């Protein structure tokens, strides 16, 4: 029960009790926890206090609210090392996760506008966009720019459902030797939000990815829009690798 004499706020005490119940298996993944009125009655507290406790666990990604259905224990999140040099498709496959890669726009040569982040700004580059789905749900949107000379001919290749990193290695005989990535939280415009099946006010992880090759630095530049709801996207510490 709750200790009204404790300096620990009541909502925090209730959050700890619910957390222990989740960890002990009293509330298994996917199960619905008692409703706010029921918890308020069981612990002799007001609904605002219960709501605060649930908010804590929602922020900690232990619970999720479903409108009109209640509050449920989240399924364990799968961690995907998305940012190795092996590429996005291979990152999912290594975890045994089937991913469907859809080519949204055919590869074409484009004039790149002014963009301080884009290494091809003011020049030409090959450009394509891809959508990665897991179990039918969009999880990753990629906008990819490729060096206009090193990848000459890629616009004539069928890239649908293929690993881009494997295409680069098998057709152009190149492998990345390094790179860098920047991360920030951002929001999608209405068109991208519709493709990702999220609201425009839903925050997503935005990654700018630069890949270097022996032939040229920043030969591939990607903007990745990651829906972090179903997965934890990670990066291995200790240097980028191909494996």
- What tens digit of pLDDT does each residue of 108-120 get? 999 999 999 999 9
Q: What is the percentage of the chain residues whose pLDDT exceeds 70?
A: 85
Alpha-carbon dihedral 41, 43, 45, 46, rounded to 10 degrees: -50
Contact 110, 123 (CB under 8 A): no
- What tens digit of pLDDT does each residue of 60-84 get? 878 999 888 899 998 766 555 555 5
CATH 3.40.1410.10 in the chain, residue ranges: 78-234
Residue 147's Cβ-side half-sphere holds a number of Cα atoms within 13 Å equal to: 17
CATH 1.10.10.10 in the chain, residue ranges: 10-73
- Topology (CATH) of 78-234: Chorismate lyase (3.40.1410)
Composition of the chain by helix, strand, coil, percent to 5: 25, 30, 45
CATH code for the structural domain at 10-73: 1.10.10.10
Contact 198, 117 (CB under 8 A): no
């Amino acid at each position: 029960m709750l200790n009204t004499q404790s300096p620990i706020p009541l909502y925090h005490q209730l959050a700890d009790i619910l957390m222990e119940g989740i960890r002990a298996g009293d509330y298994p993944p996917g199960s619905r926890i008692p409703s706010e009125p029921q918890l308020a009655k069981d612990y002799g507290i007001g609904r605002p206090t219960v709501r605060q406790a649930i908010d804590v666990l929602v922020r900690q990604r232990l619970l999720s609210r479903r409108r009109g259905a209640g509050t449920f224990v989240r399924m364990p999140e799968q961690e995907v090392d998305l940012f190795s040099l092996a590429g996005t498709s291979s990152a999912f496959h290594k975890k045994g996760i089937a991913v469907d890669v859809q080519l949204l726009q055919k590869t074409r040569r484009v004039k790149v506008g002014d963009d301080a982040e884009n290494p091809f700004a003011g020049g030409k580059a090959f450009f394509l966009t891809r959508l990665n789905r897991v179990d039918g749900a969009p999880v990753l949107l990629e906008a990819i720019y490729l060096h206009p000379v090193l990848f000459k001919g890629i616009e004539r290749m069928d890239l649908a459902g293929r690993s881009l990193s494997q295409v680069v290695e098998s057709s152009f005989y190149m492998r990345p030797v390094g790179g860098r990535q920047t991360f920030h939280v951002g929001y999608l415009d209405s068109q991208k939000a519709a493709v990702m099946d999220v609201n425009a006010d839903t925050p997503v992880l935005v990654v700018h990815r630069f890949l270097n090759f022996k032939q040229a630095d920043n030969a591939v530049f990607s903007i990745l829009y990651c829906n972090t709801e179903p997965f934890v996207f990670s990066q291995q510490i200790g240097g980028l690798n191909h494996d």
